[in-house]
Amino acid sequence: MDIKKEFGKRLNQLRKDRKMSQEKLAELSELNRPYISAIEQGKRNVSLEVISKLAQALDIEIKQFFEA
Amino acid sequence: MDIKKEFGKRLNQLRKDRKMSQEKLAELSELNRPYISAIEQGKRNVSLEVISKLAQALDIEIKQFFEA
DNA sequence: TTGTAGACTGCCGTCGACA
DNA sequence: ATGTCGACGGCAGTCTACA
């Protein structure tokens, strides 16, 4: 499957596991909410720095985005 | 350390482990050589699709970029 | 073989607004 | 709480060329 869609699904999963809203994730990651929405739908080709910010916000290591 | 620098160092390490030139890596990943050079020096904020291409070229999984 | 420069196109990431 | 739109500035990624 497309890497963007995979990443988006994983992000959505990790966020929901934490019962966190897109709004809250946007705040913690210092990104904006519509952008988080698009990422979770696999519409955006996010950069390393965005991946890093999201990992920090979710309190995980980057590699966890790419593990089952 | 800065995530871009970390990624660059790791890419350089993985490439050299395989005794591969930047030129060859550029060819396999369908990127261009000057760009590979900049990435390895931590100057570029690469995207998910580029990370994916580099992983394929090196025949590794993406998570290996983010493991020690 | 690698680093660097300049110029270019397209898209990332932002923001306000509406459903 | 989430999806979507439109407009925008800045930078990702390309290419040629030279050290």
Nucleotides on strand C lying under 7 Å from protein C-beta = 1-6, 11-17
Q: Which amino acid is at B65?
A: F
Domains of chain A in start order, with CATH, are 3-66 (1.10.260.40)
Position A5 pLDDT exceeds 90 = yes
pLDDT for the residue B28: 98
Residue of A nearest to B1 (CA): A52
- Distance (Å) from CA B54 to C1' D19? 27
Q: Which residues contact B14 (CB under 8 A, 6 or more apart)?
A: B58, B60, B64, B65
Q: Report pLDDT for B17.
A: 97
Strand residues in chain B grouped as ranges (E): none
Distance from CA of A19 to the nearest CA of B (A): 25
pTM recorded for the entire structure: 0.95
How far apart CA A9 and CA B16 sit, in angstroms, is: 33
Among all strands, which nt has the closest C1' to B43 (CA)?
A: D12
Cβ-proximal residues to B23 (8 Å cutoff; 6+ apart), any chain: B33
Among residues B39, B48, B34, B51, the alpha carbon closest in space to that of B6 is found at: B39
Cβ-Cβ contacts under 8 Å between A and B: the total is 39
pLDDT of A68 strictly over 90: no
Residue-level pLDDT, tens digit, chain B, 68 residues: 899 999 999 999 999 999 999 999 999 999 999 999 999 999 999 999 999 999 999 999 999 999 97
Q: Which nucleotide in the DNA or RNA is closest to residue A4, CA to C1'?
A: C12
Structure tokens at A52: 């890093």
* Dihedral angle, C-alpha B32, A67, A38, B10, nearest 10 °: -30
pLDDT tens profile A19-36: 999 999 999 999 999 999
Question: Residue A60: is its pLDDT beyond 90?
Answer: yes
